[in-house]
Amino acid sequence: MTKPSGTGQPEPPATSSSGASSLVTTFFDRPLPLYLSAAIFRLVFLLYGLWQDANSPVKYTDIDYLVFTDAARFVSQGQSPYERETYRYTPVLAWLLLPTAHVTGNRILDVAFFSFGKVLFAISDLVAGWLLEKVLAKSMDAPRARKFATIWLLNPMVATISTRGSSEGLLGVLVMALLWAVLERRVTLAGLLLGFSVHFKIYPFIYAPAIVWWMDNERMSPNKTKPTSLSSKPPFLTAKILNFITPPRLQLALISLTTFSTLNIAMYLIYGTPFLQETYLHHVTRLDHRHNFSPYNTQLYLSSSLPLSSSSSFRIEKLAFLPQLLLSTVFIPLVTAKKSLPTSMLAQTFAFVTFNKVCTSQYFLWYMVLLPLYLPQSSFVKNKKFGLAALVLWVVAQGAWLQQGFELEFLGNSTYLPGLWLASLAFFGVNCWILGVIIGDMR
Amino acid sequence: MRERITFVQKEGDSIEPTALKVDGNGLKGPEVKAVREDRLTFALDELPAELKALLEGVNQLHVRWVSPVAYEAVSPLLARLPPGFHLFYTPGSDASINPCPLLTKAFGLDSCSSPSDSFTTLPTDRFTHSTTHQFYQPLPSLKAFAHFARSLLCPPGSPSSCSSRLGSLTAASQLDLSYDTISHTLRLTSLWPYSPQSLSASLLSPTIRTEIGILSQTSPKTLEPHEIGISGLLTVLGQSTTPSPTLFSFPSRHRDSSSSFQAHFLPPTGLHPTLQLSISSPSPPAKSPTEETCRLHGYFTLPKTLFPDRHQLNDPLFLSSKNLTAVRYITPGIDLEAPEYVTSTWGSALLLELAPPHSSSGKEWTAEIPLHLRYLPPSLTGYQKAEVPYPALFWACTAEEGTKFPGNPFEKDRVGYDGLFGERTVFWHLNPSPADGKLVNTVKVPVLNLEKADWVGTVTGAVVVAGFAWVVIKLLGVVVMGGKKVGEDKKKKQ
């Protein structure tokens, strides 16, 4: 292999004393080793999963993947994906997975076709990682950027989730692409991605205010010199508003809204009410009573079981959206988006997931993809002990909840109160503290 | 109105006609071990107005009640269902007619509100002999029905035997109510378990034609393989004082496989209990003339407290690890997420084909059925009970081409699973033999403990507000510090 010619002089050969560190350096020097190992990593997981599925009654494949592929099968037969119960996604996902419904009669080929979705999700992981590197490289050299992208690319949790066939990896690549497009000032592409992501999974709408706020004149047209009068004299409110409405902002709003509505109208015309019901309205009407990490969970179970007559009494969970949306769509973007858009998006996602009425471990992937963008400047990395303590706290709180959940789910002990409830509150507390640290790092 | 009372003894047992005393009011005889079946047949006009109005509006209505107390059955009265109250129903042209209020009053039901809310629909495209709707609920006793029947059939002035006979319904092991528009008659059939009892029968009312039979199975050489033979004594009260001997044969759908089984939940049950069936033999019934076509099936009626996941029961590898072959029928549209307290339909029916091990030795073996509990309402102890009825287990064997099953005098149809098989299927039943004599298993379901729930709302609210406040304070810190920084920068520049 040829050495990069840009450096001008050949690198010294690795000596036995610095072997380990130089090995690490060479690993990150060029993109190939990292991406090749990330791909092999996923391939091993994928093949192992196929083996486990074929040989064990306990399946590696996520139940959701069976839902997607069943839906894709319905689509391939000219039916609606919503024929499959619990399919709560956009039809686009079922369309994307159409190859999984292809049957050739050859067993090995059929397994390969059926695994298409997992391959797609795994490739999405790699592309998300590559975009991560590109975004990171704006503020550091490429090897260091790759080092931080490794947190995502060689993360066993990420690899497991996508090779088990969960579609969260697709969201990762969409969000990363959105961020990259914004930072590259590719407003049309950003609008398309934003509209599509929100159609795909609703939650990326929280990024809209941050992106819009970030897109000020200074950033979008850096060539023009700023009128000096603005900083000396506070302008009138109307002028402020007029200043706020800039062509790029209008363009983003218009394109994202058009994309979002076009997709929804098209899906509604094709699949009718089930599309609206399953993809969107379900989230309004669902009871969210099954145990999950959310601090509201116990309260939701309690109130869902009460007779309707007592519904007039005050119910805290009815207001749950308030702290969640205030933080993730107003306060955090307003305060932090202009300081660091990636970190703002991370903090927004973190707040959205932490304060959500439902919280499962798949949601953690939503912010995990943004984490490598924040870590380089974070107090968690600057002070390694502090970072480790935070990680341990996060894992321990989750572990406590999982232990209580295991007792409930598999041993049949009534751990809802107080165990599971306190564990979810503790986990919520830890998450709020971490969120506070992330925000504090933006001073 | 007419009545038929039948005592069925086991094969080989019989009674001498001289041991019986018959007169216009009844029959008296010695104590024998037998099953007793009483069948009352009503013409529509003989029914009270409320019941008549309901039946005139329906196409088919079949109630099948089975006691949760294990009982011994005798051929040919062998048809079995899971214990509880079953309803198989086809509405008439007016679909708004609701049988629930009357059935609730008659049987003391608590979860039948209307066909659209509580019933599930059955496939009618498979075979023509099934009804369109199904309903089930656990019902441990016929107390309410005995009371209801007495108020209906024993008006003031009836003989005391009327009231006492209907009172004995509480000891019955099965009860059937059958109505369809073709016969235009309502049949009430009750069955008492095989036990020592005196051969006595009295009139419900002097105006009723009452036929009494004392029968047992017999196996004459002329019998076709799918037939059973019956011999014994028959008499009609008021027409003769000496019972006359009789001998007849007919093809029977429900036979005895001479195997038995038990069902229990594997501990710990958690939220995903596994029902284990322990079956005495893996071999198909040796007596079946078409042994090679026999497949072992389990028919389950699962109340809404728990459900089978048809997607989980789809994987051949998973199924064979549980000694199951395939799901042959499952109630469509079962919600896999909703808690019990917002689920209005009764639950789900499941027909599973089991996979007995291939060994020729007649060893006991097991099959496991994975189930999933719904969330139940909170309680003061942190636990609730979910009662799960025993399934009906049988070998379904296809009789030879051309075999007909014309109505037999003891035919029991509309038992749920018969509508899922072809017309030529014979059901060879396995005898449920629970160790505790109860055909119901109980699962302890963990639920939210209301005793500890007083502070949940308040504390949850407080913690969320505190978390929110903490994040807002950190944000304010950024704003304030950011302002300072800008100030410092300005100072530096100046």
- Note the pTM of the prediction, 2 decimals: 0.87
**A290:B337 CB<8 A:** yes
With contacts defined as CB-CB under 8 Å, which chain A residues touch B340? Answer: none
**Tens of pLDDT along A203-260?**
999 999 999 999 887 778 766 544 544 445 566 778 877 888 888 899 999 999 999 9
Do the chains contact at B470 and A433, CB–CB below 8 Å? yes
Maximum separation of any 2 CA atoms in chain A, in Å = 81
CA distances from B181 to B57, B59, B91, B178 (A): 9, 5, 11, 10
**Does A219 lie at the interface with B, CB-CB under 8 angstroms?**
no
Question: Which residues in chain B are contacts of A327 at CB distance < 8 A?
Answer: 468, 471-472
Structural element, H or E, at residue B277: strand B274-279
Mutate to test the interface with A, among B474, B476, B493 (most CBs of A within 10 A): B474
> Are the Cβ atoms of B471 and A327 closer than 8 angstroms?
yes
**Distance to chain B for A429, nearest Cα, Å:** 6
> Does the distance separating the beta carbons of A412 and B271 come in below 8 Å?
yes
- Show residues of chain A in contact with B448, CB under 8 Å: 298, 301-302, 305, 414, 416-417
* A298 contact residues in B (CB cutoff 8 A): 448, 453, 456, 460
Contact at CB, A304 and B339, closer than 8 angstroms: yes
CB–CB of B175/B86 below 8 Å? no
Task: Return the DSSP state at B438.
Answer: B
| Rounded Cα distance, B252 and A168, in Å | 58
- What are the residue ranges of helices labelled H in B78-180? 100-107, 115-118, 143-153, 160-167
A351 in contact with B at a CB cutoff of 8 Å?
A: yes
| Pick among A301, A359, A431 to test the B interface (most B CBs inside 10 A) | A301
Q: To which H or E segment does residue B127 belong?
A: none
Mark yes or no for CB contact B467/A63 under 8 Å. Answer: no
Nearest residue, CB atoms, A299 vs list B447, B460, B472: B460
Of residues A38, A90, A108, the one with CA closest to residue A275: A90
Show the tokens assigned to B25. 């009011």
Give A265 to chain B, closest Cα distance, Å. 27
* A63 touches B: beta carbon within 8 Å: yes
Record: contact A339-B478, CB cut-off 8 A: yes
Per-residue confidence of chain B (494 residues) as pLDDT tens digits?
899 999 999 988 888 888 888 887 788 889 999 999 999 999 999 888 889 999 999 999 999 999 999 999 898 899 999 999 999 999 988 888 999 999 999 999 999 999 999 999 988 766 666 889 999 999 999 999 999 999 888 888 777 888 888 889 999 999 999 999 988 899 999 999 999 998 888 877 778 888 999 999 888 888 887 788 999 999 998 888 888 899 988 888 899 988 999 999 998 999 999 999 999 988 888 877 777 789 999 999 999 999 999 888 988 888 999 999 999 999 988 888 889 998 999 999 999 999 998 866 668 999 999 999 999 999 999 999 999 999 999 999 988 877 777 778 888 888 989 888 888 889 999 999 999 999 999 999 999 999 888 888 889 999 999 999 999 999 999 988 866 655 555 454 44
Length of chain B: 494
Amino acid A230: pLDDT: 47
Confirm or reject contact between A218 and chain B (CB < 8 A). Answer: no
Best residue in B371, B471, B472, B493 for a mutation probing chain A (most A CBs within 10 Å): B471
Closest chain A C-alpha to B82 CA, distance in angstroms: 26
B382·A409 Cβ contact <8 A: no
All residues of chain A having their beta carbon less than 8 Å from the beta carbon of residue B338 are 287
Contact between B456 and A414 using a beta-carbon 8 Å cutoff: no
Which residues from chain A sit within 8 angstroms of residue B468, using beta carbons? Answer: 323, 326-327, 355, 432
Token pair 């030529």 is found at: B424
Task: Say which of A301, A339, A414 has its CB closest to residue B382.
Answer: A414
**What pLDDT score does A223 carry?**
64
CA B302 – CA B308 distance, rounded (Å): 8
The CA distance from A148 to A144, in Å, is 7
Tell me, letter by letter, the H, E, C secondary structure of B31-100.
Answer: EEEEEEEEEEEEEHHHCCHHHHHHHHHEEEEEEEEECCECCCCCCCCCCCCCCEEEEEEEECCCCCCCCH
Binary contact (A316, B342; C-beta < 8 A): no
Nearest CA distance, A32 vs chain B (angstrom)? 39
Of A315, A296, A287, which Cα lies nearest the Cα of A425? A296
Chain B interface mutation, best of A285, A300, A314, A443, highest count of B Cβ atoms under 10 Å:
A443
Instruction: Write down how long chain A is.
Output: 443
| B273 to chain A: closest CA residue | A410
Quick: pLDDT tens for A378-390. Answer: 999 999 999 999 9
Interface contact A410, partner B, CB < 8 A: yes
CB atoms within 10 A of CB B433: 16
pLDDT of residue A325: 94
Distances (CA, A) of B456 to A315, A328, B491: 11, 25, 52
Indicate yes or no: CB of A339 within 8 angstroms of CB of B482.
Answer: yes
Q: DSSP secondary structure string, A228-274?
A: THHHHSPPPHHHHHHHH--HHHHHHHHHHHHHHHHHHHHHHHHH-HH
Query: Which tokens is A10 given?
Result: 């050949």
Chain B residues in contact with A355 (beta carbon < 8 A): 464, 467-468
The predicted structure's pLDDT at residue A7: 39
How many whole angstroms separate alpha carbon B249 and alpha carbon A360?
Answer: 64
**CA–CA dist A22, B160 (Å, integer):** 103
Selected residue of B385, B448, B465 to mutate for chain A interface (largest A Cβ count, 10 A): B448
Please write the tens of the pLDDT for every residue from A133-180: 999 999 899 999 999 999 999 999 899 999 999 988 899 999 999 999
Chain A neighbors of B470, CB-CB under 8 A = 432-433, 436
Look up residue A98 and give its DSSP letter. Answer: G
Q: Residue B378 and residue A301: Cα distance in Å, rounded?
A: 8
- Give the A:B interface size as CB pairs under 8 Å: 163
Whether the CB of A305 is below 8 Å from some CB of chain B: the reply is yes
Cβ-defined contact of B336 to A85 (cutoff 8 Å): yes
Min CA distance, B95 vs chain A (Å)? 26
Mutation to test the B interface, candidates A63, A277, A302, A322, most B Cβ within 10 Å: A302
Judged against a pLDDT cut of 60, whether residue A12 lies above it is answered with no
Nearest neighbour of B463 by CB, restricted to A289, A320, A425: A425
Average pLDDT over residues A359-380: 92
Q: How far apart are CA A148 and CA B244, in angstroms?
A: 97
Minimum distance, in Å, between the CA of residue B106 and any CA atom of chain A: 27
Q: Do B475 and A85 touch (CB under 8 A)?
A: no
Which residues of chain A have a CB within 8 Å of the CB of B370?
A: none
Which residues are CB-neighbours of B101 under 8 A, at least 6 positions away? none
